[in-house]
Amino acid sequence: MHGYMGKILRVDLTAGTVWDEPLNEAYAREFVGGSGLAARYAYDMVTADTDPLGAENPLIFMTGPLVGTAMPSAGRYSVGALSPATGLWGEANSGGFFGPELRFAGYDGIIITGKSACPVWLSIIEGEATLYEAADVWGLDSYTTQKCVRELMGESRARVACIGPAGENLAAMAAVMNDHGRAAGRTGMGAVMGAKKLKAIGVRGKARVPVADAQTLNALAKAIIAGVEDDMAAASIRMAGTAGYVDMALMYGDMPIRYYQQGTWDEGSNLSGILMLDNYQNRTLACYRCPIACGRETRAPSYGVDKVDGPEYETLGALGSLVLIADLEAVIYAGHLCNLYGLDTISAGATIALACELFARGLLTSADTGGLEIHYGDAAMVHRLLEMMARREGFGALLADGSYALAKRFGAPELAAVVNKLEVPMHDPRAFSAMAAIYALSPRGACHMQGDMYGVDTGQGPAYELGITPGERFEVSEEKGRIAARQQAWRTLYNALTLCQFQNPGVERLLAALNAVTGWGLTQDDLLPLGKRILALKRRLNLRRGLTRAAERLPDLLLQPLDGGTEGNVPDLEPLLAGAYAEYGWDLETGVPLPIP
C-alpha cells in the first residue's frame, strides 16, 4: 500500500518475543491510522472484563499514512489502550520526531501485549527489534532515560519514547514522553506502559515512506508552507506558542480559574505568552517538517533550570489559573517537573486544584495529607505534590489516582470536574457552548483535541466545504450540535492521518495530499464518513466497556453560571447532543451507533 510501510511490530512481553506481522490492509483502508487504526486492532483484543493494568490490555503505538512524508506538520504518533484512568478506550498523541522515525525504522506501528517479569526496553534499528533488560534505566526521569537509551543503542540520533517515575508507579495520569518534553499525555498511557514493565522504546532507521505521487505531494507541501505565512492563527502560535492564547482565553472566560469556579482573575494576565516570550523564552522548537514551530524552550532561573520544554497553554491553565498561581516562572517550573516525572499536566493540575477545593471546604484536612496544608496559590506546595504524585509518596498516592477517585474518596464525587472520569481541559464550555457536546461525546473522556469548537467559533481553520462553519459562541441548537459532530469527525480523521491540528491547509489541499500519498482517489464527500466510522468503532468499544448514555453529562461545577467573559452562560447539552446524534446516525436513547458501513 502506498502511504504505509506494510508492517506492524508485535511484542509479547510475557514471553519476551518480538515478530513482524503484515499490516492489515483492510483495517488501514477503513480506519486510516493513528488512534483510528489502533482502536480497530484493540477492538479485536479487549473484552468487557479486560484489566487496563493487566497483561491482556494491548498497548498500541501507531502512525498514519501522512507521517514521515513531505506533508508539513505530519510528525505525530498515537498511543492507545484501555485507560486505567477511565476504564474506557484511552488514547494520546504526541509530536516531535518519534512517529516519523518509527516509520523510517520500518514499521507503521507496534502492538505490545503481556507483561515482563522485570523492567525492559525495546530497541528498533533498521527493521530489527530487540528487547533488553532495563535495570540501569528503571527509576530514571524521562530526560535521563532518553539520553541513556540513545547511548545504549549507540545511535545518537535515535528517537526515544519512555516513561518517567509516574509511569513506573502507575499514576493514572502518567504520560509517554518523547523528544525531550513532548508528551502523549492523556488517559494514563504511561501507566499502561509501566504496568507492562516497559521503560522505553528507541527507534532509528533510514527507510522512506512509499507515496503514490511524490511530485504532486512535494508541490502541495510547498504551497501549504507558503500558505502558513498568510495564516494569522499560525503566525500567532509561531510567535508566542499556544501560550499566546492566554489573554484571549481570559477575555472569553475560556481559561478556567480556581477549579472552574471563578469568572475573572486580574492576575491571570501574568501568565501571558507574550510575557513568557519577553522574559523566559530561549528559542522556538519545531516538530518534524513543521513550518509553524509552536514549541518553546524556556527557562526558570530562580529554580536553577536553564532549559524547559514548554509550557503550553494547557499547562499554564492547569498549573496556573486553576490553582490560582500567577507566578509565571513557578508555573514554568511546575511544567518542567511534569516533563521530568512523566505526568499529564492537565490531569495533574486539575487533581491538585480539586485537592485545594476539598481543603478549602474542610472535606480534606491536614490529618488526611500527612500534615500538608493544601491551599490555592501555593506554588511550592504544587511542586511538592507533583513529585509525591509521581512517586506515590504519602498523600501523593491518593492524588495519583486522579480527580474522580479523589473526590469519591472524600465523599464529594459531585466536585470532580470530569467527563467519563477524565479531567476537563482548559477550555470552559460556558465560553463556547458547543464544547459541551465535544466533551460529552469524546471517546476518551473530556478532551479539547477531539473537536476544537472554540477554534471554529473564533474563525480559526473552519472547513466550510464540510459544513463546519463559525457561529455565535453561546448558540445552543441541534444545528450547532451537528456542526460540533462534523468538527469532531474532522479532527478524528486528523488524529488518524496523523496531522497536527494547528496545520489547517484547507480541505482541498489536505484531500489532495492524502490522495497523493495513498493513491486512494478520495473525494471531499469521503472525508467525514472516515472520521465518523472511526468514532462509531470507538463508541462500540466503549459501550462494550460499560459506557451508558447517562454518562454523557457535564460535571456539576461547569453548570454554574459565572461572571466575566462567559456572561453567565451555561450550555444546554441536550439540544446539542440531539443534533450530534442525528449527524452521526446514533440512537438518541441508547447511544448505539448504526452498523459500521
* C-alpha closest to that of 583 among 467, 422, 502: 467
For 334-370, the pLDDT digits (tens) are 999 999 999 999 999 999 999 999 999 999 999 999 9
The 10 Å Cβ neighbour count of residue 27 is 18
Distance CA 314, CA 318 (A): 6
With residue 224 as reference, give the H or E element that holds it.
helix 214-228
284 and 354 share a domain? yes
Q: What is the CATH number of the domain that holds 540?
A: 1.10.599.10
Which three cell numbers mark 566? 462567559
Residues 6+ apart with CB under 8 A from 151: none
First-last CA distance in the chain: 22
77 and 183 share a domain? yes
Q: CA 58, 60, 185, 336 torsion: positive or negative?
A: positive
Q: Which residue has the cell 451555561?
A: 570
Task: Tell whether 216 is covered by a domain.
Answer: no
CB burial readout 209-220, b (16+ within 10 A) else e? bbbbbeeebeeb
Name the DSSP letter for residue 595: P
251 and 337 share a domain? yes
Task: Tell whether 400 is covered by a domain.
Answer: no
* C-alpha closest to that of 339 among 377, 298, 396: 298
* C-alpha closest to that of 442 among 510, 332, 513, 535: 535
64 and 191 share a domain? yes
Residues 6+ apart with CB under 8 A from 307: 282, 297, 299
Task: Tell whether 234 is covered by a domain.
Answer: no
343 and 460 share a domain? no
362 and 461 share a domain? no
Distance CA 397, CA 379 (A): 20
* C-alpha closest to that of 3 among 27, 33, 31: 33
Would you write out the chain's pLDDT as a tens digit for each of its 597 residues?
999 999 999 999 999 999 999 999 999 999 999 999 999 999 999 999 999 999 999 999 999 999 999 999 999 999 999 999 999 999 999 999 999 999 999 999 999 999 999 999 999 999 999 999 999 999 999 999 999 999 999 999 999 999 999 999 999 999 999 999 999 999 999 999 999 999 999 999 999 999 999 999 999 999 999 988 778 788 888 888 999 999 999 999 999 999 999 999 999 999 999 999 999 999 999 999 999 999 999 999 999 999 999 999 999 999 999 999 999 999 999 999 999 999 999 999 999 999 999 999 999 999 999 999 999 999 999 999 999 999 999 999 999 999 999 999 999 999 999 999 999 999 999 999 999 999 999 999 999 999 999 999 999 878 999 999 999 999 999 999 999 999 999 999 999 999 999 999 999 999 999 999 999 999 999 999 999 999 999 999 999 999 999 999 999 999 999 999 999 999 999 999 999 999 999 998 889 997 754
User: What angle is formed at CA 177 by the lines to CA 62 and CA 344, rounded to 5 degrees?
Assistant: 105
User: What angle is formed at CA 400 by the lines to CA 399 and CA 404, rounded to 5 degrees?
Assistant: 65
271 and 193 share a domain? no
Phi, psi of 562 (to 5 degrees): -125, 155
User: What angle is formed at CA 453 by the lines to CA 449 and CA 458, rounded to 5 degrees?
Assistant: 125
The domain boundary, picked from 336, 369, 389, lies at 389
Q: What is the CATH number of the domain that holds 100?
A: 3.60.9.10
Are the CB atoms for 221 and 72 separated by under 8 Å?
yes
Task: Tell whether 263 is covered by a domain.
Answer: yes
Q: What is the CATH number of the domain that holds 350?
A: 1.10.569.10
Using DSSP's 3-state secondary structure scheme, residue 385 falls into helix
97 and 199 share a domain? yes
* C-alpha closest to that of 192 among 209, 177, 175, 204: 175
For 502-534, the pLDDT digits (tens) are 999 999 999 999 999 999 999 999 999 999 999
CB burial readout 149-188, b (16+ within 10 A) else e? bbebbebeebbbbbbbbbbbbbbbbbbbbbbbbbbbbbbb
Distance CA 206, CA 102 (A): 10
The domain boundary, picked from 188, 204, 220, lies at 204
Are the CB atoms for 33 and 64 separated by under 8 Å?
yes
Distance CA 452, CA 237 (A): 16
How many residues can be counted in the chain?
597
With residue 161 as reference, give the H or E element that holds it.
strand 159-162
Total structural domains in the chain?
Answer: 3
38 and 165 share a domain? yes
H-helix segments, 44-153: 98-104, 142-153
269 and 172 share a domain? no
Task: Tell whether 409 is covered by a domain.
Answer: no
- Residue 416: alpha-carbon gap to chain centroid: 20
Could you give the C-alpha distances from 432 to 84, 139, 450, 455, 542, in angstroms and in order?
A: 29, 42, 15, 9, 26
51 and 192 share a domain? yes
Residues 6+ apart with CB under 8 A from 160: 98, 145, 146, 149, 150, 178, 200, 201, 202, 203
Using DSSP's 3-state secondary structure scheme, residue 467 falls into coil
Residue 91, beta-bridge partner list: 80
Are the CB atoms for 325 and 112 separated by under 8 Å?
no
Residues 6+ apart with CB under 8 A from 550: none
Are the CB atoms for 85 and 423 separated by under 8 Å?
no
With residue 403 as reference, give the H or E element that holds it.
helix 403-409
Are the CB atoms for 59 and 189 separated by under 8 Å?
yes
Task: Tell whether 591 is covered by a domain.
Answer: no
Which three cell numbers mark 525? 464527500
Q: Using a cut of 0.95, tell me whether the model's pTM lies above it.
A: yes
* Residue 133, domain extent: 7-204
* C-alpha closest to that of 351 among 380, 311, 390: 390
Distance CA 220, CA 45 (A): 38
Rg for the chain (alpha carbons), in Å? 22
The domain boundary, picked from 345, 367, 389, lies at 389
- Burial-class residue 49 by CB neighbours within 10 Å (0-12, 13-18, 19+): exposed
Helix 573-584 and helix 478-497, axial crossing angle in degrees, nearest 10? 60
* C-alpha closest to that of 558 among 400, 446, 407: 446
244 and 145 share a domain? no
Task: Tell whether 35 is covered by a domain.
Answer: yes
Task: Tell whether 319 is covered by a domain.
Answer: yes
* C-alpha closest to that of 134 among 148, 154, 115, 113: 148
Helix 379-391 and helix 328-341, axial crossing angle in degrees, nearest 10? 0
